[in-house]
Amino acid sequence: MKIHVNLRVLFSLAVVVLGGYALYASLHWPFKTALFPRVIGAPLVILAAVEMLLSAFGREKRQEGNAVDFQFTTDVDPAVAQRRTWMILGWTFGFLILILLVGFLLAVPLFVFLYLKLVGKEGWIITLSLTAVSWIFMEAVFDRLLHLPFPPGWIWSLWS
């Protein structure tokens, strides 16, 4: 029998660990606090273990994999798809880091500009005008109108 190690196995393993942690944490709690975490955690660990074993050892009937949910596109060449997946993940987390570094108000136009220019390879007119739109939008709606507390980026703390 062949053992598959794929995302399905790893994800169910992660859920087993998570459920296990919940059960472990509940050991230190009074009964009423711990009851629900245990009632939920125990079947979670068992079922996730079953799912893990099924994914690792079993083959799956095609139709059974159909969740009531959408499926990722399969039209794109797997190698290209993988590269694009990592790219967008990088950009998304990059956005977060940019926000933390330079603050929301600057990160937004910067991100829009960089994405349009580097990924979209758009012309200057589109890039600059859309960047301006995003900047005005942030400044007017979220800063001036709603007064959201945007933490200043870490970079600025170097100067003060």
Partner 1 sequence: MRKANAVTLFFAFLLVPFLAYGAGYYEGKTLTIVVGYKPGGGYDSYARLIAKHLPKYLPGNPTIVIQSMPGANSIIGANHLYGAAKPDGLTIGTFNNGLVIAQLTRVEGVSYDLTKLSWIGSLANDAAVLTVRTDLPFKTVDDLRKAKEPVIIGATGPGSSTFDFPALLKEFAGINVKIIPGYSSSADVMLAIERKEVDGRAGSYASILPFIERGLVRPLVRTRVSVPEIEKLPVDEDLATSARGKAILAIRSTPEAIYRPYAAPPGTPPEVVKILREAFAKVTQDKELLADAKKGKLPVDYVSAEESLKLVREVLKQPPEVVQEIAKYIRFGD
Partner 2 sequence: MLDAFVQGLVVIFEWQTFLMMLLGIFLGFWVGLLPGLGGATTLALMLPFIYKMNPVEAFAFLLGMHSVTATTGDITSVLFGVPGEGSTAATILDGHAMAKKGEAGRALGAALMSSLVGALIGAFALALAIPVVRPLVLTFGAPELFMLAVVGIAFISSLSGQGGRALLRGFLAGLLGLLVSLVGQDPQGGVQRFTFGQLYLWSGLDLVPVLVGLFAIPEIMDLAVRGTSIAGEISEKNLNRGVWQGVKDTFHHFWLTVRCSLVGTFIGILPGLGGGVAQWIAYGHATQSARDSTERSGFGKGDVRGVLGPGAANNSKEGGSLIPTIAFGVPGSSSMAILLGAFFLQGIIPGPDMLDKHLVLTFSMVWTMVVANVITVAVSLVFLNQLAKLTMIRGSILIPFILLLAFIGAYTSNNHVGDLLVFLIFGLVGYVMIRCGWPRAPLVLGFVLGKIAENNFYISTIRYSGAWLHRPVVLVLLAITLVVVTYPFLQMRERKSQIDEAIA
**What, of partner 2, partner 1, none, does residue 96 touch, CB below 5 to 8 Å by kind?**
partner 2
Please give the Cα distance from 51 to 19 (Å, whole number): 14
Cα–Cα separations (whole angstroms), residue 66 to 28, 72, 128: 40, 12, 43
Least separation in angstroms between CB 25 and partner 2: 7
Binding to partner 1 by residue 149, rule CB under 8 A? yes
Least separation in angstroms between CB 81 and partner 2: 5
Q: Which stretch binds partner 1 (CB under 8 A): 17-25, 82-90, 94-102, 144-152?
A: 144-152
> Per CB under 8 A, which of residues 16..35 are in contact with partner 1?
none
Please give the Cα distance from 57 to 6 (Å, whole number): 11
Least separation in angstroms between CB 138 and partner 1: 16
Candidates 148, 154, 155, 156; binder of partner 1 (CB under 8 A) is 148
